[in-house]
Copies of this chain bind each other. A is one copy, B any other.
Amino acid sequence: MERCERFKNNPILRPSDVRPTRDDFIVECLLNPGAFEYKGRFGLLLRVAECPVIEKGWVSTPIIDPDGSTRVFRVKSDDPELIKTDPRVFKHRGQAYLTTLSHLRLAWSDDGVNFAVEPEPTLTGEPRLENYGMEDCRVTQIGSEYHLTYTAVSSDGFGVGLITTSDWRTFERHGLMLPTPNKDCAIFPEKIGGHYYCLHRPSAGGIGTKNIWTARSLDLVHWGDHRCLARPVAPWESARIGAGAAPIKTPRGWLEIYHGATLPTCYSLGLLLLDPDDPTKVLARSKEPVMVPTEPYEIKGFFGNVVFTNGHVVRGDAIYMYYGASDEVICGAMMSVEALLESLKF
């Protein structure tokens, strides 16, 4: 198998494949799915980003109110206190807003390539921690329990939310496991030396860069012993790096497919190999990215030049790697564990 072979029918899911939650909303983007296996089927937990139907002369976005209902926040396009810098965010009177509100929604497949999206949201933001939405969920299976780590976005910032489920119907919320500003958190699939571990990506706060960190835990809910694992090194990741999905256990160590970005923004994917007995140690790292945006759907879209993964299913040597392209559509690629490990031998 090649190191990285895109699905022939990419993109496998587009915004038009998903029903909006309200008649006055449109699904603007599908992004960055978590991935897992359940009862022999492939599951994706899509990030569905919605916005109000475009209304001329206004900038508007959905926000979740304290009572749990979704309200449309509107500002006149010519308001002097409105600042639009990016398709993803705007500022009004000093407060930042997202242009879309994301929820998480399940999609199922028997072959890992053809997915059917559920007609309703699976998880929507709760008012206190997620009034700006839920994004980019990683799914880690430990025993029969699935641990969902996602970006919980609110008017107070973005942290890492934790939810568990065993049946994908009932969900238990554990609040924020990592405080703002943090995202890109993936839990390792088993205990290592008596502790659970995760990768996470705190924002830089004036000193240092946007690095990948580790933390450890005894119960998966409370975390400590935070350490910086890896910093941007190569030109293709000069602006920031962040973890993808849960590291893959291999005989040579924990294999992590991570993202790196440049400024102006181009998101690519790279590889880290971590010590099997101490995942706070990097054994090897790809010199060149394993995937860069090259296809039309990766270069042009809501936010172009992006390939971003936070979900995969591993069957033997085969990695079914799912990724968001251009912050707009869902794609897949096949990778080989062996070939990836081989590429890390210098």
**A interface residues with partner B (beta carbon < 8 Å):** 89, 96, 128-129, 132, 153-159, 162, 174-182, 200, 202-209, 211, 213, 215-219, 221-228, 231
Contact A205 B225 (CB under 8 A): no
The residue among A89, A129, A224 with the most chain B CB atoms within 10 A of its own CB is A224
Instruction: Tell whether A223 pairs with B226 under 8 Å between CB atoms, given A156-B211, A181-B202.
Output: no
Q: Which residue of B lies closest to A96 (CB)?
A: B207
Instruction: Tell whether A213 pairs with B179 under 8 Å between CB atoms, given A155-B207, A206-B96, A207-B153.
Output: yes
Chain B neighbourhood of A225, CB < 8 A? 174-177, 221-222
Tell me which of B155, B176, B226 contacts A226 (CB under 8 A). Answer: B176
Contact B217 A132 (CB under 8 A): no
Contact A204 B174 (CB under 8 A): no
Bound: A202/B226 CA distance, A: 14
Tell me which of B200, B209, B216, B222 contacts A224 (CB under 8 A). Answer: B222
Chain B neighbourhood of A209, CB < 8 A? 156
Tell me which of B157, B207, B224 contacts A223 (CB under 8 A). Answer: B224
Chain B neighbourhood of A213, CB < 8 A? 179-180
Tell me which of B153, B154, B174, B179 contacts A215 (CB under 8 A). Answer: B179
Not counting A180-B202, A180-B204, A181-B181, a sample of 18 additional A-B residue pairs whose C-beta atoms are within 8 angstroms of each other reads A132-B207, A155-B208, A157-B205, A159-B226, A174-B224, A175-B225, A175-B227, A176-B226, A177-B226, A178-B179, A179-B202, A180-B207, A180-B213, A203-B203, A203-B206, A218-B222, A221-B224, A222-B225
How many Å from the CB of A184 to the closest CB on chain B? 12
Bound: A231/B155 CA distance, A: 11
Instruction: Tell whether A156 pairs with B208 under 8 Å between CB atoms, given A179-B202, A182-B179, A213-B179.
Output: yes
Bound: A162/B213 CA distance, A: 18
Q: Which residue of B lies closest to A200 (CB)?
A: B179
Contact B226 A178 (CB under 8 A): yes
Q: Which residue of B lies closest to A223 (CB)?
A: B222
Chain B neighbourhood of A159, CB < 8 A? 226
Q: Which residue of B lies closest to A207 (CB)?
A: B96
Q: Which residue of B lies closest to A231 (CB)?
A: B156
Q: Which residue of B lies closest to A206 (CB)?
A: B96
Chain B neighbourhood of A215, CB < 8 A? 179
Chain B neighbourhood of A211, CB < 8 A? 156
Bound: A121/B297 CA distance, A: 59
Bound: A153/B204 CA distance, A: 12
Tell me which of B174, B176, B203, B228 contacts A227 (CB under 8 A). Answer: B176
Q: Which residue of B lies closest to A132 (CB)?
A: B207
Chain B neighbourhood of A153, CB < 8 A? 207
Q: Which residue of B lies closest to A176 (CB)?
A: B226
Chain B neighbourhood of A216, CB < 8 A? 222
